[in-house]
Amino acid sequence: MTDAPHKRTWVTVLKFAIGVGVIAFVLTRIEFGDLARTLKQASLAGVIAALALFLLNRVLTAVKWGRLLAHAGTPVPLPRLIRVMFVSGFIGSALPSGAGVDIVRFFQLRGTSDDSTAVAGSILADRVLSVLALALLSLPASAIAWRVVADGRLIGSVVILSILLIVGIGFAMAQWSSRACAGIYRWKRKMFLGVGAAESGRVVRSLDLVYSKFEQVHRSFVALGCKKGLLLSVLGLNLIVQFVRVAQIHFLFRAVGADPAWIFELSFVPIIIFVTLLPVMPAMGLGVKEGFFMTFFGTVGVTPAAAVSVSLLSHLVVLVGQLPGAWLFFTRARDPEASPP
């Protein structure tokens, strides 16, 4: 059986291979002169507008997370949640995918409640509802854009992925999903016990410990999902958050002189965001994001230079937008309520 360090090595190798492969793909399809000219001529006003929306999104994310925490029995003042969001964004940007941000969020609030599973459950619910909002934005837009986009197979894959996401999230948030998870756990436990090797006892004990923690978090997560009013209000806030993220890209396209229709931005951007959050992607989706922007928006007439420029500028917006988090992180000792991340 492969041990954990070996698995982490393979995941790292996979991330590196994906990053290198996509960057090579981008380099073979773009003229550096065109890219440099496009970036040089980019409108500062469009970049500033995207940055302002990025900062707004941090606050909106804190608001929706605060609603989940309050219903989980762990109310946290909004100013502290905003602080946590900025600091976690700063630290998490150096960690793989979006999971790094969630881990930092958890550790910053772990001491807020005696029940840390409530904090973990709220973060899980927030992440799941964020992905659901991405799918709900992309699906109708893709259905409308289907007849316009030259590559029907590409837009078809977006529709299929959105539907799969919605179905999968519906399963995860259903009460009976706990029974399904318990069944998988019992099957895995029986399988390891049947091996009879000396190592199987240690594996089973580890499996029991992991499942015990998972069950507590999952129970808290499902309990939040059963509150329909809360679910709909937080989902509505998530739709606003994801729409603002699409608006950031819209302003960046305008900054470089490209102007794809809103319907294409609503169709493509949520799926690109989702893919770059997958655990096998390099940090911040570097390279992969550029490849997807070029491929998707190339089908609706955006030049490779403009598409890659928008992707690179979006990285710049994120980096500049993390500066408040860096300042808050290095001055956290002044906040008596702040927990070490």
SS3 of 33-55: the string is HHHHHHHHCCCHHHHHHHHHHHH
Q: Highest-confidence range of 84-88, 174-178, 231-235, 281-285, by mean pLDDT?
A: 84-88
Sign (positive or negative) of CA dihedral 50, 165, 264, 18: positive
For residue 1, is pLDDT > 50? no
Instruction: For residue range 191-209, list pLDDT tens digits in order.
Output: 655 555 445 556 556 656 5
Alpha carbon 163 to chain centroid distance? 18
Mean pLDDT, rounded, for 237-260: 93
State the SS3 of the chain: CCCHHHHHHHHHHHHHHHHHHHHHHHHCCCCHHHHHHHHHCCCHHHHHHHHHHHHHHHHHHHHHHHHHHHHCCCCCCHHHHHHHHHHHHHHHCCCCCCHHHHHHHHHHHHHHCCCHHHHHHHHHHHHHHHHHHHHHHHHHHHHHHCCCCCCHHHHHHHHHHHHHHHHHHHHHHCCCHHHHHHHHHHHHHHHHHHHCCHHHHHHHHHHHHHHHHHHHHHHHHHHHHCCHHHHHHHHHHHHHHHHHHHHHHHHHHHHCCCCCCHHHHHHHHHHHHHHHCCCCCCHHHCCHHHHHHHHHHHCCCCCHHHHHHHHHHHHHHHHHHCHHHHHHHHCHHHCCCCCCC
Mean pLDDT, rounded, for 35-45: 89
For residue 53, is pLDDT > 90? yes
State the burial class of residue 323 (Cβ atoms within 10 Å of its Cβ: 0-12, 13-18, 19+). exposed
Lowest model confidence (mean pLDDT) among 68-72, 80-84, 274-278: 274-278
Mean pLDDT, rounded, for 24-28: 59
Match 């230079």 to its residue by tokens: 305
pTM listed for this prediction: 0.76
- Count CB atoms within 10 A of the CB of residue 209: 10
Give me the phi and psi of 260, to 5 degrees please: -65, 150
15 confidence band (pLDDT: 50, 70, 90): low
Contacts of residue 8, defined as CB under 8 A and 6 or more positions apart, other chains included, come to none
For residue 302, is pLDDT > 80? yes
Domain boundaries, the chain: 40-175+226-334, 176-220
pLDDT at site 235: 87
pLDDT at site 9: 57
For residue 341, is pLDDT > 90? no
Instruction: Considering only residues 183 and 277, tell me which one the structure prediction assigns the higher pLDDT.
Output: 277
333 confidence band (pLDDT: 50, 70, 90): very low
162 confidence band (pLDDT: 50, 70, 90): confident
Q: How far apart are CA 51 and CA 31, in angstroms?
A: 27
Asked whether 97 and 279 are in contact (CB, 8 A), the reply is yes
Q: How far apart are CA 29 and CA 304, in angstroms?
A: 7
Q: How far apart are CA 102 and CA 85, in angstroms?
A: 9
